[in-house]
Amino acid sequence: MKSVILIQVENIQASNHTPGVDINVVGSLNGTSIYDVDLNSVEDKPWKKPGADVTDYFNYGFNEYT
């Protein structure tokens, strides 16, 4: 004997807004736009520490020089 389980899902409207995250805002580091941050001026460069994975800090094959 087979059992059939029916699951009723309410119609939920998709939202273009995630609470607490605004993807249209440019990020900042210590009050400076991330586009204006000079990586040479950053004191702590955790991506250069032994065992660090550079992809944890840079995406798509980029590094601090690209």
Q: So what's the pLDDT on residue 41?
A: 80
Q: So what's the pLDDT on residue 15?
A: 59
What's the distance, Cα to Cα, between the start and end of the chain in Å?
A: 63
Give mean pLDDT, residues 46-63.
88
In whole angstroms, what is the distance from residue 29 CA to residue 45 CA?
A: 14
Q: So what's the pLDDT on residue 4?
A: 46
| DSSP-based three-state secondary structure for 63 | coil
pLDDT digits (tens, 9 = 90+) for 5-54: 444 445 555 556 557 778 888 888 888 898 998 878 877 888 889 999 98
pTM listed for this prediction: 0.40
- The residue with tokens 């995630």 is 18
Distance of alpha carbon 30 from the chain centroid: 18
